[in-house]
Amino acid sequence: MCTRGKRWAAVTAAVVVVGLGTTACSSDSGVPTPPAAGAGEPDRADMAEWEAELEEALKELEDLEGLEGLDDFGTGAPLNVGDCWGRATTVDHDPRSCDEPHVFEVVGVHEGFEAPEGEGLAGMRAEEEAKEAICEGLFAEYFGVPYNDQPLPMILVTPEPVGMGSDRIVCSAYTTRSEEHTSPFSIG
């Protein structure tokens, strides 16, 4: 995972830890608890102590090597070409045999994606179009038919999300996001 991705994961984890700490019934959890809000402003010494505890918790979270399940949104294994994954009723990014019920089939993986320049909505749209073009090319390689020349019923392709800041694109084919299959996709 790249440094930017590790930082993002650490910050996200810290927010979760702080959120849990502020809603916990007791302070026995070891999670930094913010100073109690009274009638006035919290004492600066209390705030400084809380910030120091939070900074310590962040440092502990930055060593992400020991944490599992940060890639592919909760799975321990990355998705690869030919893997099937996903269920119609749950969020499931675990690779599975294509003989088991699944919604998606990985048709290609692109490493080293660099987003085109752009800001705001125009930049986001340009990035999405670049990913779609890559996935359409990988679809053609996988099935041997250009994406726009396939017969009906049409198999759709989508760049699936991976960890934030990742330069990896996982392209998956599907018919609908609610239709499960028990064999690999085929065209013809």
Answer for the pair 113, 167: CB distance below 8 angstroms, yes or no.
yes
Domain for residue 74, yes or no? no
Same domain (yes/no): 18, 94: no
Same domain (yes/no): 53, 110: no
pLDDT tens column, 135-181: 999 999 999 999 999 987 789 888 876 776 788 999 999 999 899 99
Same domain (yes/no): 97, 39: no
Same domain (yes/no): 28, 95: no
Q: Which of 41-45, 63-67, 111-115 has the highest mean pLDDT?
A: 111-115
pLDDT tens column, 73-89: 445 678 999 999 998 88
Greater confidence, 122 or 55? 122
Overall average pLDDT of the 94-123 stretch: 91
Answer for the pair 163, 70: CB distance below 8 angstroms, yes or no.
yes
Query: d(Cα 85, Cα 49) in Å, to the nearest integer?
Result: 46
Question: For residue 147, what pLDDT is reported?
Answer: 92
Question: For residue 11, what pLDDT is reported?
Answer: 39
Question: For residue 151, what pLDDT is reported?
Answer: 85
Q: Which domain holds residue 88?
A: 84-174
Q: How many domains does one find in the chain?
A: 2
pTM: 0.58
Is residue 171 within a helix (H) or strand (E), and if so which, with residue range? Answer: strand 169-174
Domain for residue 77, yes or no? no
Whether the pLDDT of residue 132 is over 60: the answer is yes
Greater confidence, 160 or 58? 160
Domain for residue 116, yes or no? yes
Greater confidence, 105 or 36? 105
Percent of the chain topping pLDDT 90: 34
Task: Give me the DSSP letters along 54-84.
Answer: HHHHHHHHH-GGG--STTTTT-SS---TT-E
Same domain (yes/no): 89, 163: yes
Question: For residue 159, what pLDDT is reported?
Answer: 86
The pLDDT mean for the chain works out to 74
Q: Dihedral of CA 178/180/185/186: which sign? A: negative
User: Lowest mean pLDDT: which of 10-24, 55-69, 160-174?
Assistant: 10-24
Overall average pLDDT of the 14-30 stretch: 42
Domain for residue 79, yes or no? no
Q: Between β-strands 156-160 and 169-174, what pairing exists: parallel, antiparallel or unpaired?
A: antiparallel
Domain for residue 18, yes or no? yes
* Gyration radius from the chain CA atoms: 22
Overall average pLDDT of the 53-60 stretch: 67
- What is the length of the chain? 188
